[in-house]
Amino acid sequence: MPAARKDSLTEALAAHDPLAYKALYEESPSIYFVIDAESTVLAINRIGAAQLGYAVEELEGRSILSITHPEDRDRLRQQIRDCGAESCTLSFQEFRKLRKEGGVLWVREVARSVQGSDDRTVVLVVCEDITAKKQAEQRLRESEERYRRLIETSLEGVWLLDADNKTTFVNAEMARMLGYSVEDMMGASLFDFMNEHERAIARRNVERRKHGIKEVHDFKFRRKDGAEIWTMVSANPIFDPDGQFAGSLGMVRDITFRKQVEKELARRAAELEKSNERLKELDRLKSSFVDTISHELRTPLTSIKGYAEFLEDNIGGPLTLQQRQFVEEILDGSSQLERLVDDLLDFAKLESGTFTLRPARSDLRDRVREILKVLKPQADENGIQLEATLPDEPLVLQMDAGRIGQVLLNLVGNAIKFTRPGGRITVTATAVADAVRVEVHDTGVGIPPEHLPHLFKRFYQVDTSSTRESSGTGLGLAISKALVEAHGGQMGVESTPGKGSTFWFTLPVSAGSEA
């Protein structure tokens, strides 16, 4: 405060009775005290007194110290003393005033000593209520404290860098992750915590952040003990109010364990892939082996069968009864072997994908009738009734008639094998929606439910005594299903042990069927 102004102000005020100012201050929202050098309140404005919860009369004549918070009294006493000693001392200080009904009023005080007309020095104290500001500050402090605690206890590392990538803050988790103390890390450069290769990447990342790019990436840091850890970093740029790059905020999570698991999984997947390849190769080998063997078997089989038929037809001379029986046995055996070889060949083709269909328009009813005719003698021989329920209208489909005949032969053949004398087998074919459904129903031994899901797997046979009695390879159903599916159809079974089974398949009436 310049001396000239101080003098003129003091003089101007001194020319008047300070108590006269009370009327002026009466309606002011501030609290105006006039006190003497002993701290006695000479005057206070009405609104000021009301703010403290008092009537003016209750405060006048009373020490200002008595309505000041005990902890602030010495400071206020000193201020009044200073103010009185050196005329016109001006100061801003924060004090707590005590309200009459309890509670504290925070005020910011300006004190000024003036010379009274009677030459007495009085002190004029103006107080501004700053309670709301103080409360807001307190709330801010509390909220800052809450955030600080949150960050401190966070399971993620928090890392704050300035524009030069120097550490300005790290939480305990961040320091723990890297094996340092928080103090060790303060001021250290981001680049001190990584190897050369990562340093180059980190520099590029910082450059991108300067352009406002936020990123989440996996990043390798080097710990104090030299070990490397994998982290997932969410890095955000910080800009000052002028838009200048001011640093970075990183949220860092330790993902070393996840990386190890991923690595291990990748290794196992590669191993699996390799063994899968080996299995596929084995499968290919097996298919080509079956293919070769089947062909090799077929040639001698054809000659065995051919020569046996010559014998049967007496081309090699007349046979005795016993010789004829032996020849029949040879023919039976070679027929069985021929079926087996055919199945194996079909199976090998289906497995290797070299199987092809020869579709043509054909009435499915004809295929059913044909197969029934072929199998009728066998059914009669076993005392089984074999019949078909077919619609009057043709069921013309685009299909490989030979292959569908093979499916029917397998299903009806099985039904005969697994039905006791006196039983009945019915084949039905019906048009349903956009397909034809064929059912082969028998009153045979049936199939226990636990076997049903496996029935169409290759080489699967139900392990019951009746099954063991009957011949077969366990390939028939697998081949039949593959053939039906190759036509775009489906195959399934329903069965009740002791009552019988129904094997069914569908064939789509596709656009091609009308072609």
Binding residues for ligand ADP (CB under 6 A): 410, 414-415, 418, 442, 444-445, 447, 455, 460-462, 467, 472-478, 501
Contact 157, 251 (CB under 8 A): yes
- CA 486 → CA 30, 243, 355, 357, distances in Å? 97, 68, 9, 8
Contact 161, 235 (CB under 8 A): no
Q: How far, in Å, CA of 323 to CA of 294, rounded?
A: 29
At 124, is the secondary structure helix, strand, or coil? strand
At 446, is the secondary structure helix, strand, or coil? coil
Q: Measured from the CB of residue 287, what is the shortest distance to ligand ADP in angstroms?
A: 18
Q: Measured from the CB of residue 377, what is the shortest distance to ligand ADP in angstroms?
A: 19
Residue nearest to ligand ADP (CB): 472
Q: Which is nearer to ligand ADP, 105 or 479 (CB)?
A: 479
Q: Measured from the CB of residue 480, what is the shortest distance to ligand ADP in angstroms?
A: 7
Q: Measured from the CB of residue 455, what is the shortest distance to ligand ADP in angstroms?
A: 5
- CA 245 → CA 164, 213, 310, distances in Å? 10, 12, 102
Q: How far, in Å, CA of 131 to CA of 97, rounded?
A: 10
Q: How far, in Å, CA of 325 to CA of 98, rounded?
A: 130
Q: How far, in Å, CA of 250 to CA of 233, rounded?
A: 6
Q: Measured from the CB of residue 369, what is the shortest distance to ligand ADP in angstroms?
A: 20
Q: Which is nearer to ligand ADP, 170 or 344 (CB)?
A: 344
Q: Which is nearer to ligand ADP, 217 or 454 (CB)?
A: 454
Q: Which is nearer to ligand ADP, 307 or 504 (CB)?
A: 504
Q: Measured from the CB of residue 270, what is the shortest distance to ligand ADP in angstroms?
A: 37
Q: Which is nearer to ligand ADP, 156 or 442 (CB)?
A: 442
Q: Measured from the CB of residue 348, what is the shortest distance to ligand ADP in angstroms?
A: 16
Q: Which is nearer to ligand ADP, 93 or 464 (CB)?
A: 464
Q: Which is nearer to ligand ADP, 109 or 351 (CB)?
A: 351
Q: Which two tokens stand for residue 212?
A: 């406002």
Edge to edge, the sheet with strand 157-162 lists 167-170, 157-162, 245-254, 228-239, 215-222
Q: Which is nearer to ligand ADP, 378 or 510 (CB)?
A: 378
Q: Measured from the CB of residue 347, what is the shortest distance to ligand ADP in angstroms?
A: 11
First to last CA, the chain: 111
Edge to edge, the sheet with strand 104-115 lists 41-44, 31-36, 121-129, 104-115, 92-98
Q: Measured from the CB of residue 258, what is the shortest distance to ligand ADP in angstroms?
A: 48
Rg (CA), the chain: 52
Contact 178, 252 (CB under 8 A): no
Q: Measured from the CB of residue 387, what is the shortest distance to ligand ADP in angstroms?
A: 16
Q: Which is nearer to ligand ADP, 204 or 420 (CB)?
A: 420
Q: Which is nearer to ligand ADP, 127 or 455 (CB)?
A: 455
Q: Which two tokens stand for residue 222?
A: 């080097």
> Of 129, 119, 128, 107, which Cα lies nearest the Cα of 18?
119
Q: Which is nearer to ligand ADP, 179 or 472 (CB)?
A: 472
**DSSP class per residue in 276-308:** HHHHHHHHHHHHHHHHHHHHHHHHHHHHHHHHH
Q: Measured from the CB of residue 259, what is the shortest distance to ligand ADP in angstroms?
A: 49
Q: Which is nearer to ligand ADP, 435 or 447 (CB)?
A: 447
Q: How far, in Å, CA of 28 to CA of 47, rounded?
A: 7
Contact 179, 225 (CB under 8 A): yes
Q: Measured from the CB of residue 220, what is the shortest distance to ligand ADP in angstroms?
A: 58
In sequence order, which ranges of 161-255 are alpha helices (DSSP H)? 172-178, 182-185, 196-210
